[in-house]
C-alpha cells in the first residue's frame, strides 16, 4: 500500500462519521416528519460502524499518518470507543425529549455527528493545526446546537455567551500555539518536545505561550477562572443539548490536555503543574460553595462539573503515568455520572414541563421508587460516597496527587469533597423525605428506561469492581505515552 492508502485506512472511523453526517443532512430533505425515526436509526448505525472500524484498525503500537499530523495509538482508540458509547446513550435519552419539543430534525443529528468528528480529530491530533481544527469543529457545532431551539430566548442568550467566550478562549489558545511555534519553529508536538529537550530556547517566551495555552484549555474544560460560561450555558440550553455538552466533549478535553501538555510540553511540567494546582484549588472551592446556593438543578450540576474538573486536574498535576491513568479513569466515571444525572432530568420532563428545579424532585420516591433509587445512586456517586464509582474515581486521583507530594492539597480536597456532599445529599432528602408536588405519572420510552437503569447501576457495579476500567485506562496511557 502507498502512503495515501495507509493514511486513509488509519482515518477510516473519521471518514465514516463524516460521510454519514453529510448523508443524514441530505436524507432529512426527502423525509416526511413521520419518517424521521430513520435519521435516529442511521445515527446509531453510524456509531456502531465507527466502533467496528476502530476495533478492526486497533493497534498496540503508536503510528502516525498525514505527515505526522494524525496519531493512531491505543489512547486514541479507547477514547473514541468511549465517545461512541456515550454519544449512543445520549441519543437514546434525548429522542423522546426532542420529539415533544419539535426539535427532532436532521440537523440535530448531523451536528451531533460533526461534533463527534471534531472530538475524534482532537483525540488523534499530533499537530497544533489538527488539534485546533478538531476543537473548532466541535465548538462551532456546540454553539449551533445550543441555539437550535430558536423560539427560546434563554437558549439564544446562552448560545451568544458561549460563542463570544469560546471565541476568546480559542484566540488565547491559538496565540499560545503561535508563540510556541515562534520559539521552536514547529507545530508538531513531537518536534516541539524534542526542540525543548535539545535546544536553548528563551524560557520567558515559552512560559508566556504556556500561560495562553493553559488558559484556553481551562476554558474548554470549564475550570476556574474560565468557568463563567458553564452555569449559563447549562441552564439556558435545552436539556438535551446540556446533556451533550456536559458529557462526551469531556473526553475530547481530556485528550487535548494529554496531547499538548504531556506529549508536547513535558519539559515545562514544573511550570504547568503550578498553574494546574491553582486552577484545581479554585475550581473545587468555587464549584462546591456556589453549588450549595443553587435552586436550579441544571445550574447546580454545572457548578458540580466545575468542582469535578478541579478533581480531574489533581490527576494531571501529578505529571506521572499513574496520574494520567487516574485522570482518564476519573473523566470516564464523570461522563457516566453526567449521562445518568441529566438523563434523569430528561426522564422527569414532559411536554410543557422541564424538571429543572430542585423542588421538582420532591417526593419522587412516592411517584416512582425505581427512578428515585437510580437518582440516589447518581447523587451518591457524584458525592463520592462508597461503594460507588465516584468514590473510587476521587480516590485514584487523590492517591496520584499524594504520591506526587501534594499532601496538603489532598487534605484540602477531601475536606471540600465532604462539604460538597451537602448539595448532593439534599437531593436525596427531597426525593425521600418531602411531599411530592407533582403527581403526574412518569412516561418515557422503554429503551430510555432500560438504558438509564443500566447506566445508573453501572455506577454501583463499577464502584464495586473498578479494576477492569482502571486496567483499560492504564493500558491506554502506558501504551501511548512512552
Q: Which residue range forms the structural domain that includes residue 170?
A: 3-480
C-alpha cell read off for 175: 496565540
**Residue-wise pLDDT tens digits, 413-445:** 899 888 888 888 888 888 888 777 777 777 778
* Whether the predicted pLDDT of 482 surpasses 70: no
**Residue-wise pLDDT tens digits, 279-306:** 999 999 998 898 888 888 888 999 999 9
Mean pLDDT, the chain, integer:
87
Grid coordinates 506521572 are at which residue? Answer: 320
**Residue-wise pLDDT tens digits, 4-53:** 777 788 888 999 999 999 999 898 888 887 788 889 999 999 999 999 99
Grid coordinates 473526553 are at which residue? Answer: 251
Contact 336, 342 (CB under 8 A): no
- CA nearest to 130, candidates 265, 272, 267, 259: 259
* Whether the predicted pLDDT of 151 surpasses 90: no
Q: Domain count for the chain, please give it.
A: 1
Contact 480, 76 (CB under 8 A): yes
Percentage of the chain exceeding pLDDT 70: 98
- Gap between the Cα atoms of 245 and 147, Å rounded: 13
Grid coordinates 448539595 are at which residue? Answer: 423
- Gap between the Cα atoms of 187 and 182, Å rounded: 9
- DSSP annotation of 320 reads S
Contact 25, 117 (CB under 8 A): no
For position 60, what pLDDT does the model report? Answer: 83
Decide: residue 450, CB within 10 A, 0-12 exposed, 13-18 middle, 19+ buried.
Answer: exposed
The phi, psi pair for 125, rounded to 5°, reads -75, 130
Q: Where are the alpha helices (H) located in 224-268, listed in sequence order?
A: 229-236, 239-245, 249-257
Amino acid at each position: 500500500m502507498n502512503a495515501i492508502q495507509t493514511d486513509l485506512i488509519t482515518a477510516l472511523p473519521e471518514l465514516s462519521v463524516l460521510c454519514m453526517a453529510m448523508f443524514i443532512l441530505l436524507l432529512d430533505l426527502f423525509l416526511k416528519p413521520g419518517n424521521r425515526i430513520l435519521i435516529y436509526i442511521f445515527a446509531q448505525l453510524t456509531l456502531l460502524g465507527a466502533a467496528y472500524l476502530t476495533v478492526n484498525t486497533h493497534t498496540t503500537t503508536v503510528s502516525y499518518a498525514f505527515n505526522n499530523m494524525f496519531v493512531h495509538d491505543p489512547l486514541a482508540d479507547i477514547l473514541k470507543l468511549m465517545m461512541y458509547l456515550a454519544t449512543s446513550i445520549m441519543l437514546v435519552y434525548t429522542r423522546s425529549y426532542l420529539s415533544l419539543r419539535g426539535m427532532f430534525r436532521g440537523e440535530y443529528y448531523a451536528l451531533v455527528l460533526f461534533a463527534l468528528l471534531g472530538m475524534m480529530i482532537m483525540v488523534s491530533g499530533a499537530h497544533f493545526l489538527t488539534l485546533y481544527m478538531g476543537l473548532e469543529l466541535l465548538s462551532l457545532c456546540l454553539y449551533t446546537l445550543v441555539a437550535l431551539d430558536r423560539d427560546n430566548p434563554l437558549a439564544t442568550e446562552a448560545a451568544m455567551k458561549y460563542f463570544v467566550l469560546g471565541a476568546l478562549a480559542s484566540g488565547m489558545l491559538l496565540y499560545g500555539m503561535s508563540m510556541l511555534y515562534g520559539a521552536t519553529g514547529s507545530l508538531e508536538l513531537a518536534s516541539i518536545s524534542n526542540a525543548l529537550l535539545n535546544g536553548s530556547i528563551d524560557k520567558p517566551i515559552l512560559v508566556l505561550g504556556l500561560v495562553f495555552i493553559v488558559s484556553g484549555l481551562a476554558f474548554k474544560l470549564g475550570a476556574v477562572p474560565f468557568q463563567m460560561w458553564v452555569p449559563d450555558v447549562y441552564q439556558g440550553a435545552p436539556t438535551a443539548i446540556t446533556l451533550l455538552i456536559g458529557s462526551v466533549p469531556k473526553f475530547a478535553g481530556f485528550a487535548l490536555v494529554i496531547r499538548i501538555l504531556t506529549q508536547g510540553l513535558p519539559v515545562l511540567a514544573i511550570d504547568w503543574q503550578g498553574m494546574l494546582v491553582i486552577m484545581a484549588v479554585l475550581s473545587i472551592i468555587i464549584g462546591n460553595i456556589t453549588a450549595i446556593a443553587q435552586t436550579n438543578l441544571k445550574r447546580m450540576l454545572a457548578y458540580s462539573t466545575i468542582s469535578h474538573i478541579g478533581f480531574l486536574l489533581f490527576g494531571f498535576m501529578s505529571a506521572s503515568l499513574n496520574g494520567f491513568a487516574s485522570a482518564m479513569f476519573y473523566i470516564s466515571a464523570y461522563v457516566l455520572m453526567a449521562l445518568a444525572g441529566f438523563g434523569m432530568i430528561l426522564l422527569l420532563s414532559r411536554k410543557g414541563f422541564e424538571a429543572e428545579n430542585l423542588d421538582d424532585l420532591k417526593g419522587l420516591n412516592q411517584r416512582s421508587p425505581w427512578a428515585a433509587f437510580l437518582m440516589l445512586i447518581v447523587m451518591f456517586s457524584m458525592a463520592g460516597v462508597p461503594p460507588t464509582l465516584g468514590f473510587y474515581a476521587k480516590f485514584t486521583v487523590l492517591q496520584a496527587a499524594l504520591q506526587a507530594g501534594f499532601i496538603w492539597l489532598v487534605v484540602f480536597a477531601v475536606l471540600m469533597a465532604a462539604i460538597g456532599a451537602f448539595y448532593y445529599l439534599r437531593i436525596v432528602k427531597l426525593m425521600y423525605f418531602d411531599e411530592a408536588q407533582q403527581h403526574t405519572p412518569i412516561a418515557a420510552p422503554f429503551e430510555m428506561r432500560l438504558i438509564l437503569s443500566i447506566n445508573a447501576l453501572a455506577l454501583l457495579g463499577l464502584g464495586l469492581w473498578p479494576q477492569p476500567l482502571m486496567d483499560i485506562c492504564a493500558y491506554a496511557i502506558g501504551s501511548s505515552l512512552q
